[in-house]
C-alpha cells in the first residue's frame, strides 16, 4: 500500500514540475518578445533621428 502511495506522490510531483517548466518557458518567450519589440522601436527612433540630421 505504501508503494502505491509513493508512486502517486511521485507522479504528482512530476506533473507539478512539468507545469512549472511550461510556465517558465512561456514567461521567457513573452519577456523576450517584449524586449525585442522595445529594441526594434529604439532602433526605428534612432534611424528617424539620423534621417532628420
Statement: residue 53 has pLDDT above 80: no
Q: Where are the domains of the chain?
A: 25-53
Percentage of the chain lying above the pLDDT 70 cut: 100
Q: Supply 41's cell numbers.
A: 522601436
Read off the pTM: 0.62
pLDDT digits (tens, 9 = 90+) for 30-50: 888 889 999 999 999 999 998
**In the prediction, which pLDDT does 4 show?**
94
Q: Supply 52's cell numbers.
A: 532628420
Q: Torsion over CA of 2, 20, 25 and 39, rounded to 10 degrees?
A: -160
Q: Supply 1's cell numbers.
A: 500500500
Amino acid at each position: 500500500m505504501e508503494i502505491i502511495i509513493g508512486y502517486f506522490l511521485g507522479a504528482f510531483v512530476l506533473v507539478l514540475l512539468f507545469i512549472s517548466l511550461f510556465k517558465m518557458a512561456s514567461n521567457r518567450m513573452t519577456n523576450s518578445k517584449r524586449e525585442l519589440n522595445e529594441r526594434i522601436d529604439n532602433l526605428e527612433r534612432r534611424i528617424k533621428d539620423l534621417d532628420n540630421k
